[in-house]
Amino acid sequence: METLKLLVCDDEMGMRMGVARALRDFSVDIPDVDESVRFQVELAETGEEALQKIAADPPQILLLDLKLPGISGLDVLEELHEKDIETLTVMITAYASIETAVRATKQGAYDFLAKPFTPTELKSTVTKAAKHLMVARQARRLAQEKRQVRFQFISVLAHELKAPINAVEGYLNVVRDGTIGDNPEIMNQIVFRCLDRIQGMRKMIGDLLDLTRIESGQKRREMERVDAGDMAERAIETLLPDAQARSIAIELHKNGDLALWADKGELEIILNNLVSNAVKYNKDNGRVDVLLSRDGEFLTIAVKDTGIGMTRDEAAKLFNDFVRIKNSSTSGILGSGLGLSIVKKLAMLYEGKVKVESEPGEGSTFTVTLKDTAPQQAPTEALAADPHPASDAP
């Protein structure tokens, strides 16, 4: 239960007492923010007194009479506006002319309550104000959290991008200082390690761009009928050289109709990430099974490997940004730490799910479920004809 402070400023005692009485045991549920609100009512007889009370401890809501004995309600409003005090003001007025209403609104009045009003009218106006306050507060908090997450992401990103630069710089220093003698074998190793780190960095930047496109929603999704089986075949083909180099067999198992509404690029990223992980974190002579199946409107992609596997704790954090499981079996394997986070975000665009089952040392199975939903309308023509479709109106 949240308590909002509400100040009533009116020179009529009956009015002040009436409001206090009406709101004393009143509470209101605000489902939008999952919170209920009650009110702590304070009273002021004049505009001067109200300003004093507001300066000492600003209320969230102010019920302000327009016509007061000393300074007027509009003067109070102006003062609040100048001092940038965040109080939601509802003007109480018996005879609001259009001009006063306009002036009051300009000075930041949120709403009007016409005198005389019933307790029900009062409650409904106060409820509206409270809802506005709570939703705005929630929005601020979310924005703040989002900034924090962004900040954290950027600082981790900076660290991750610095690591390969440090490595390559280290190698170049070694070569420049001539401290390794003239062993061509070592020189060769240095060159290949540098290239590996640069390739890793390029992959990370690519993943990062994918991620930004998905999160910003800027990339136009081109939904079409796509056969997931064909896409999987292509992903496997791409990764075959890496797999063959380590004698890892990849097999595709298709079950049922595998066509779905999808963006080809997105489906490709999902399949490539899953199959490439299954090869990367496998053991030499291991195998990868890609299983595609359909259950009603859901299409399931399961990629099973005979790789190094992971513990339950490791699996739990796996789908977050920049998470890479660090242990003796993963050292030497390059990765951006973004691949699975991307897969999860993409799956969510399809109202889908991701999960992993794993046994350390035995292998893992990654399962992605995608919902096959036809797009609402043929997007290109509809958008071209009317950028603001009428169906969006409330």
Residues that bind another protein (CB under 8 A): 159, 163, 166-167, 169-171, 173-174, 177, 179-181, 183, 186, 189-190, 193, 197, 326, 328, 331-332
Nearer to another protein, 145 or 169 (CB): 169
- 145: alpha, beta or left? (left if phi > 0; alpha if psi -120 to 50): alpha
Nearer to another protein, 152 or 166 (CB): 166
- 214: alpha, beta or left? (left if phi > 0; alpha if psi -120 to 50): alpha
d(CA 18, CA 118): 10
Min CB(183)–another protein separation in Å: 8
Q: Three-state SS for 72?
A: coil
Nearer to another protein, 170 or 361 (CB): 170
Min CB(178)–another protein separation in Å: 9
Nearer to another protein, 140 or 162 (CB): 162
Q: Three-state SS for 57?
A: coil
Min CB(188)–another protein separation in Å: 12
Residue 369: how many CA atoms within 13 Å on its side-chain side? 11
Structure tokens at 69: 């004995």
**φ and ψ of 122, to 5 deg:** -60, -50
Min CB(196)–another protein separation in Å: 9
Structure tokens at 129: 């104000």
- 34: alpha, beta or left? (left if phi > 0; alpha if psi -120 to 50): left
Min CB(323)–another protein separation in Å: 16
Min CB(310)–another protein separation in Å: 17
Nearer to another protein, 169 or 251 (CB): 169
Nearer to another protein, 14 or 181 (CB): 181
**Are the CB atoms for 358 and 365 separated by under 8 Å?**
yes
> In the beta sheet, which residues pair with residue 366?
303, 356
| 385: exposed, middle or buried (Cβ count in 10 Å: 0-12, 13-18, 19+) | exposed
